[in-house]
Structure formats: C-alpha cells, structure tokens
Structure 1
Amino acid sequence: MMKSNADRSPEGEFPSSPQGETLGHIKDRSGMLPERSAPHLKELGITPLARQLELTEEQTNGHWCSRCQGIWYGYTLETQCPVCGNRRG
C-alpha cells in the first residue's frame, strides 16, 4: 500500500517509526540522514582529509570501526579510522 501525501510531515518526509529509533548521522541507501543518535553508537569524528577538503555533512560517508565500536565520517575512498588507525572496518 502506497502512502499518500497526507501522510507526509511538513518537511515532506514520512513520519518516523513509533519508537522513534534512529541511528544518528548514518546515511542509509536513500541518502537521508536520521535526526538523532542511538545511545549505543559512538561518533568518532571527521577525518583530516574531509576537513581539508571542506566537505559538508552530505558529502561525507559514515564508516564503521570495529576496534572503536563507532562510526567515523570521511571522504568516500578513505579507509583509516581517525581515532585508532584501523583500516579493516
């Protein structure tokens, strides 16, 4: 069943789930950013290259660091966690 425009919020997006659970700043495949962080995720920051290139939040990708158990943001092709240096995801 397709949702109608009447189901959309004023911002044009569909309302969030009843639980309101989101995974802050993690980009899903649609390119949309959730509004707030889940309490169990760590945000590890932005890489120096992304800062040097002055990338906006929309231009960075979230990457998982299994060692830090958190998400860091950087240029698409970057592989090294800015906190611990892990390059294996």
Structure 2
Amino acid sequence: MLGMCVEMEIDYRSITQSEWRARYIAYLRGGVKTGYMKDGIKMYYQDGAPGVFYDAYESGDPLVRAIYDNTYLFSKSRLTEEIIDKTMC
C-alpha cells in the first residue's frame, strides 16, 4: 500500500442493525486481508459525532462490544480473520 493512509468509517447503525455491522466487519476484514491494517496511517470517522466506539465499548451485547475490541486490535495491527470469525460472526 506504499505507506498511504486509510480512513475507517463507522455508522451508528453498526451497533443497532446487523446489516450495518456486517458492512463494518467487511471493512475490518478487508484491512486484514489486503494489508492496509498494517501498512499505513489509520484515521477513524464516527458517523459525524463521537460516541459510536464508546457505545460499543459500553455495550452488554458481545457482538456490539466486539466492534470496539476488534477496532482496537485493528488499530494495533493485531486483528486476524480468525478473531473476526470468532467474535463478530
């Protein structure tokens, strides 16, 4: 990826609707598979307002909490497809 950057965007509906969560999971998985998780600067956009990642962090639903946990692992370049499959699917 030539050291370029990537902006990770999440819509609030990702924590309330499975279809939107699946889109975010695909986003994370793409970064793991293609290498943009490791090879560039990462920026995060939370639906135009803060709170999506915080609300995922605070959630008692394991699938929603996994959004926060796996985004953290992604930010540290430690997320794997196996972790995604185990925690988000």
Larger strand proportion of the pair:
1
Same fold (TM over 0.5): no
Of Structure 1 and Structure 2, the greater helix share is in 2
Bigger Rg over Cα: 1
Query: What TM-score, normalized to structure 1?
Result: 0.26
TM-score by length of structure 2 reads 0.26
Higher relative contact order (CA closer than 8 Å, sequence separation 6+) = 2
